[in-house]
A = this chain, B = another copy of it.
């Protein structure tokens, strides 16, 4: 099943054409990115923990998304030099500042889910 993102990395153009929205999309515009960030709002998470929280994203995708988020400065990758390996991901200050966006998305999604439920009981 493919239910991944049609989204590719939006350009960083998001220029003065008036769309600051595009700028934001260039950072969180991958399907799993907002979800990942949302989970990280609650605190640091290890790679596998994230994979478990977003089962539809393969480890490969998780890595790719994580790398991009890191490159965009919204998350930190913390490597603990020990055996067995331990890596944690956490939001940077910039990432934390995305909270309003993520919370708004969650809120809206919750209402959507309620509607879907009443239409398609599962």
Contacts and interface: CB of A to CB of B under 8 A. Distances in A.
A67 B71 CA distance: 33
Copy total for this chain: 2
A101 interface: yes
A41 B19 CA distance: 13
A31 interface: yes
Q: Interface residues of A toward B: which range?
A: 35 or more
Contacts of A118: none
Interface in A83-104: 97-98, 100-102, 104
Contacts of A116: 12, 23
For A4, A9, A56, A112, the residue with the greatest tally of chain B CB atoms inside 10 Å of its CB is A112
Interface of A: 2-14, 17-25, 27, 29-31, 34-35, 38-39, 53-56, 97-98, 100-102, 104-113, 116
